[in-house]
Chain A
Amino acid sequence: MTDAKPDPHSEPDAPLALTPLHALHRELGAKMAPFAGYDMPIHYPAGILAEHLHARAAAGLFDVSHMGQAFLTGPDAVRHFETLVPGDMCALAEDRIRYTQFLNRDGGILDDLMATRWPGSQSGEERLFLVVNAARKAHDFAHVTARSPELALVAVTDRALLALQGPKAADVLSRILPGLADQPFMSMRRVAHEGAELYVSRSGYTGEDGYEISLPGALAEAFARRLLADPDVKPVGLGARDSLRLEAGLCLYGHDIDESTTPVEADLLWSISKRRRAEGGFPGASRVQRQIAEGPARRRVGLALDGKAPAREGAEIVSPDGAPLGRVTSGGFAPSLGRPVAMGYVDAAFASPGARVDLLVRGRPLAATVVPMPFVPTRYYRGK
C-alpha cells in the first residue's frame, strides 16, 4: 500500500505555519498534514465521509485561517482594482461580495478570490477586503502592490478565518450572534463581539448556506469552542472541504484553474458582467472577449461516471473512439451521491451535457457522461 502524494504547495523542508486553532485541532484528534505551507487538519476522528455528510445535514466548522486576507485602500481603489480582475467591482454596493479572478495578460487565471466592497473612509478613500487562496497569497499581494502603486495593500495577518457551513449554520450562528439569519447571500456584516469586530460574510465553498467569519486570532479558539459546543456543529477538515466543493462544482485553484485557463474556458463567465464583457479593461481582455464571441476551444465540464471506480486529477479524457479530449482536473467519490464524479477540460465539441466520453484510469477506459454542475444542488440563502 502506498501513501497519498505529498502536498505540492508546501516546501518540503520549510517550517510549517500554524493557524490560531492549531492546538484545538490537535486536541480534537485531527489528522494533520502540510497544506500551502500550513499544518492543517485533513480530517478528524469521524473521517471525511461522516464530516462531509454532517456539513450537508447540519453544520460543519472549518478552519480556513490559512487563506489570505487583505485590505486594499486608496483613492478610486474600486476602479483601479477593476484593471486587475474581470469582475464588476464598480457595480458592487457597499458590503456586497463579488467572486472574481486575478488574470494575467493572456487572460490566464493567477488566482480566484472574494472581494468585498468595504465602507469608504471619511477622507473619500475607497476600500476593498480581499480573501485569496493560501498557496497564492504572497504572489497575489505582490501582484496587486506592483500593479496598483497608488493603492495601499495591507495583509491582515492577525485574524483567523472560520467557515460555518450547512443547512443549520444560520440557526447555530444566530444563537451566538443574533440578527444574522436574514443576512443576504454574498454580503458582509461587521459584528461587535467580545470587544472586537467580526467580519461575517454569508458565503462559502460547500454549496450550502453558511458563513465565513474573520476574527482576531486571539479570539478564534474561544469562538470555535462556542460553535463546537452546539450539538449541530462538528469540525470538518480539508478533506471534506474538497469533496464538498467538488460536489458543488466549484473550482480549486492550481487544479481546475491556473494560469493556462481563462475564465471562459473554466466556465466562470457568469462572474463577468455584461458591462465588463463589452468594455474589457482587465488583463487578457482581448482574448477573453474573443473566446466569448467565438466560443473557447475547450471548456471545463462536469463528468458523471457510469461505474463505481473514481477517476482522479490527471486522468486522460478521450472520445469513445479514443481521441484525446483533455484531462480530469478534480475527481473522486461524491459522498452525498454515493458515486464518483469528476470535472475536467474537454474539446468544445464534447462540452455539451449528454456527450459520452471515456476517462482513462490505470490504462482502462471508464465510461462517463458530460453533465451540468453542480452535481449536488446548491442551497445558498435566497431570503425568506
Chain B
Amino acid sequence: MSQTRYTKDHEYIRVDGDIATIGITDYAQAQLGDVVFVELPAPGLEVAKGGQAAVVESVKAASEVYAPVSGEVIEVNPELEAVPATVNEDPAGKGWFLKLRVADAGELDDLMDEAAYQDFLKTLG
C-alpha cells in the first residue's frame, strides 16, 4: 500500500514498500511556471534528506529540488528530458522526477500527510 507525504519545500514522496517516487506538487509547478529544463541525478547516487536531488528550471528561474528522505537514486524519469513541461501538466503523475530506495523509513514521519499539507498551503495565502 502506498502513502504520499509532503515537505514544506513542496516536494511529494510516494512510498511503496522501500521504493519512493519523488516529484514536486501542483502548487510548486504553478509557482514555478513553465518548466523548460530538469536536471536529474545519476542513478546510484546516494542523497541525504534535505540534500539537493534535482534542479528544475522555469523561464523565470532555477530552483533546487531536495530529497525528502535519504536514499539511493534507482531511477529517474526519462520523459522530463524530452518534454520538461510534463512537470506542469501532470506533476503528481507522469511528471515525477526520481525514485529512491529509502534508507530510513523513520524519516518519513517528519513529513506532512495530505491533510497537513493542504492546511500548510492555506497558510501561504
Contacts and interface: CB of A to CB of B under 8 A. Distances in A.
Contacts of A2: 9, 63-64
Among B9, B34, B81, the one with the most A-chain Cβ atoms within 10 Å of its Cβ is B34
The number of chain A residues touching the other chain, given as a range, is 20 to 34
B59 A308 contact: no
B62 interface: yes
A323 interface: no
B34 A49 contact: yes
A216 interface: no
A337 B70 CA distance: 38
Given A2-B64, A47-B34, A49-B34, A333 B10 contact: no
A1 B66 contact: yes
A362 B33 contact: no
Contacts of A1: 9-11, 24, 28, 32, 56, 63-66
Contacts of A309: 37, 39, 57
Contacts, number: 62
Interface string A338-361: 001000000000000000000000
Interface residues of B, number: 25
A239 B60 contact: yes
Among B28, B58, B59, the one with the most A-chain Cβ atoms within 10 Å of its Cβ is B59
Contact of B62 (A42, A310, A335): A310
B55 A333 contact: no
Contact of B37 (A3, A5, A239, A333): A333
Contacts of B123: none
16 contacts: A1-B11, A1-B56, A1-B63, A1-B65, A42-B60, A48-B33, A50-B34, A240-B59, A243-B59, A310-B57, A310-B62, A312-B61, A333-B59, A335-B59, A340-B36, A362-B55
Given A310-B36, A333-B57, 19 more contacts: A1-B9, A1-B63, A1-B64, A1-B65, A1-B66, A2-B63, A4-B60, A4-B61, A5-B61, A47-B34, A49-B34, A239-B33, A239-B60, A309-B37, A309-B39, A310-B57, A310-B62, A333-B59, A335-B59
Interface of A: 1-5, 42-43, 47-50, 52, 239-240, 243, 308-310, 312, 332-333, 335, 340, 362
